[in-house]
Amino acid sequence: MSLYKLTRLKAKKGDPQAQLALGLMLFHGEGVTQNQAEGVKWFNRAALKGLTEAQCQLGMALYNGEGVPRNKEEAHKWFSLASENGHAHAQFYVGLMRLNGDGVGQFIPGAIQLFLNAAEKGSPEAQYVLGAIYSYGLGVPPDKTEGAKWFRLAAEKGFTNADNAIRFNQLGAKEFAERHAANLEAERRQAESGDIYCQHNYALRLFFGDGTPPDKAEAVKWYRKAAEGGNVISRHNLGAILCLGDGVPQDPAEGLKWYILAANEGFVTSQVTLGKKYLIGDGAPKDLNEAIKWFSLAAAQGEATSIEFLKGLKPKMSGKPHNNKR
């Protein structure tokens, strides 16, 4: 039986890895007649099962209009799902879309953080864009030394020409500022209309003072609206703000509730946070079993910090049952 037929058989039985592999074969014409539309269907099946690489592949197909009509809003949704679970290329794409307001609201601090996340995982595209951001002062004070550092890291991976792989548009300062202000106002209106993504994005802007004076209390109001509507990142951020009492009265119990809601949806950052909280008893009962549970869920998604924690914690669970619940 050929590799294609074997992969197709496994894919039809519901194996998400096989569905992704089949999608790639069809999309790129590897060992089979190229059929991008059919490939996208298999990406979608694997993506719906939570496979981050499939989510990223589906996002790229939607973003570029390959095998499916171009839909940047839908592409952003799939990129975001993969990005939330640490997929570097998806983080790069979400960052790029947020930087340029391309299909989504423009949000510079969030874009830069995503580029940093992807760059630290070794993404040369993200490293190159960070080089440009710092060198030209796009949303940050110009810092040619920092810019040169990221350009050098990208060059070491052979990435020297942005035209090869990225769609980074270097806006002039005036045009950049005008677009930024217009996007902020549009996002506020969409947030008021009940769009939970825009509520989350508007909360971020208010919290960090991106294009508007910082207003943390108002930001928390919008985070809460987005969190109650189901935005997983808002749930995590609201948990962090309440646990720290950053701009609002401290409430670790409610903060823990929001972390758990986000973690139960598979948000890896919340899972790691809960693991640490239960490990040391920070705003949660000290409970080694519970800590290992959350670290294990994060580790299953490939999260490196949790994998390292588990190496040290699991030996403690051998032999006599251990529970530090109070």
CB 206, CB 219: distance < 8 Å:
yes
Assigned CATH for 86-170: 1.25.40.10
Write down the number of H helices and E strands in the chain.
17, 0
Residue 2 structure tokens:
């050929």
- What's the pLDDT tens digit per position in 47-82? 999 999 999 999 999 988 999 999 988 999 999 999
Class of domain 188-317: mainly alpha
Residue 74: CB atoms within 10 Å? 16
pTM of the model: 0.52
CATH fold group of domain 1-84: 1.25.40
**HEC profile of 103-134:** CCCCCHHHHHHHHHHHHHCCCHHHHHHHHHHH
**Which residues neighbour 259 within 8 Å (Cβ) at sequence distance 6 or greater?**
235, 236, 239, 240, 243, 270, 273, 274, 277
What average pLDDT does the chain have?
A: 83
Q: What is the rounded CA–CA span in Å between residue 245 and residue 158?
A: 45
What pLDDT score does 323 carry? 46
CB 243, CB 255: distance < 8 Å:
yes
Based on the number of CB atoms within 10 Å of its own CB, is 232 exposed (0-12), middle (13-18) or buried (19 or more)?
buried
Residue 117 structure tokens:
């996340």
- What's the pLDDT tens digit per position in 209-268? 666 677 889 999 999 999 999 888 889 889 989 998 887 899 999 999 999 999 998 887
Q: Which residues of the chain form CATH 1.25.40.10?
A: 1-84, 86-170, 188-317
- What's the pLDDT tens digit per position in 75-123? 999 999 999 888 999 999 999 888 777 777 777 788 899 999 999 998 8
Residue 161 has φ and ψ, to the nearest 5°, of -125, 110
Q: What is the rounded CA–CA span in Å between residue 164 and residue 121?
A: 20
